Amino acid sequence: MESAAETIQRIFGDARSSVGAEMAETTTHYERLQKIEFPRPSSTRYIAVANQKGGVGKTSTTVNIAAALAQAGARILLIDMDPQGNASTALGAQHNSGDVSVYDVLEGRRGIEDVRQRCAEFPSLDVVPSSIDLSGAELEVANLDERTYLLKHALDSFLAQSEDHYDYVFVDCPPSLGLLVINAMCAVTEMLIPIQAEYYALEGLGQLIHTIGLVQKHYNSSLLVSTMLVTMFDKRTLLSREVYEQVKKHYPNIVLDTTIPRTVKISEAPSFGQSVISYDPRGIGAVAYVEAALEIAQRSPTVLAAIELKQGEN
Structural domains in the chain plus CATH codes: 1-35 (no CATH), 41-313 (3.40.50.300)
* Confidence at residue 141, expressed as pLDDT on a 0 to 100 scale: 83
* Confidence at residue 239, expressed as pLDDT on a 0 to 100 scale: 81
Higher pLDDT, 310 or 17: 310
* Confidence at residue 5, expressed as pLDDT on a 0 to 100 scale: 52
Q: Residue 45: pLDDT band by 50, 70, 90 thresholds?
A: very high
* Confidence at residue 52, expressed as pLDDT on a 0 to 100 scale: 83
* Confidence at residue 228, expressed as pLDDT on a 0 to 100 scale: 95
Q: Residue 15: pLDDT band by 50, 70, 90 thresholds?
A: very low
pLDDT greater than 80 at residue 94: yes
Q: Global pTM?
A: 0.90
- The mean pLDDT value for 233-240 works out to 82
Mean pLDDT of the chain: 89
pLDDT greater than 50 at residue 16: no
Higher pLDDT, 51 or 313: 51
Sheet holding 117-118, edge to edge: 117-118, 125-128, 76-80, 168-172, 45-49, 190-196, 224-233, 255-261
pLDDT greater than 70 at residue 10: no
pLDDT greater than 60 at residue 7: no
Q: Measure Cα distances from 295 to 68, 101, 288 in Å.
A: 11, 31, 11
Tens digit of pLDDT for each residue in 152-178? 999 999 999 999 899 999 999 998 888
Higher pLDDT, 178 or 228: 228
pLDDT greater than 90 at residue 110: yes
Tens digit of pLDDT for each residue in 281-298? 999 999 999 999 999 999
pLDDT greater than 80 at residue 8: no
Tens digit of pLDDT for each residue in 54-71? 788 899 999 999 999 999
Tens digit of pLDDT for each residue in 116-153? 999 999 999 999 999 998 988 888 888 888 899 999 99
